[in-house]
Structure 1
Amino acid sequence: MVSQKTIDIVKSTAPILKKQGKQITTRMYEIMFQNHPEIQSQFDMSAQADGSQSAKLATAVYAYATHIDDLAGLKSMVEKIAHRHVQTHVQPEQYPIVGECMLQAMQDVLGEGATPEVIDAWAEAYQVLAEVFIHREHEIYEEEGVS
């Protein structure tokens, strides 16, 4: 699980994420689609164009920051997102791509506020959340008879 230091740092970033989350997630998608254009087909590009996808992701990241010490409180959000990921064929090997792009976007948007300590904490936090999604999505794929 996540260390107490990481929990404290991530929770301390929640107000920043509430304020600048959409800017961060918009930048993340820009980086991701530029560096990994092959995954664009898994996304609803109209939701990209109107900003709704970035807004949804920003809300989810903020929720994670505020509930990082209570993942049970995120169960319904995780369930909804995991099912959506299965529908769009997200694979475990894609999580590091998203994580790398998210951290780069945080650095780009937050500038000096993205200290090495903040980036390290979010890297740890992201890895834990990615494992939660990968595990749940694997279960859903098995329930549906898809591997």
Structure 2
Amino acid sequence: MVTLVGSVLLFYESKTDSTRRYLNLPFSIDILALLVTGLLSFSISGSFPMGPIGELWAFTLLILSPCAAAVLFSIPESGRFRETSLYLAALVSAYSGITAVLLLYGGYIPMLGLLYFYWMLGMPIIGVLFLLNAWYWPSITAETLSV
């Protein structure tokens, strides 16, 4: 929820200021794919995503953090705060990449713990970064315009 609210606020702030708005598109497509695979799983099996649809859902979930890093990259140059956000997003993206590789080789059920850790720690970090960057966006654009 934090990631979703933060992304909506960040997209709202970047609608006119960012020249790299196109980097928001993969994140939006991934959110849509995540919703579709989750709803498809619930409509077919009536439970938590399992089987092939569950693996597809897990991959769309794991791709969320690299797409979020691209969104953070689309923010205009603003110094240390943006760099710190990018480093943290890259760290979470590296964890999701390792988890995705392990998911390919280990299967879905053994990786539920890693996915849970990613969902409970990694995605809230991304969400907080989105919220903070959306909050700092007006001051970022004011600094950019005054220079």
TM-score of the aligned structures, taking structure 1 as reference length: 0.34
When Rg is computed on C-alpha atoms for both structures, the one with the higher figure is 2
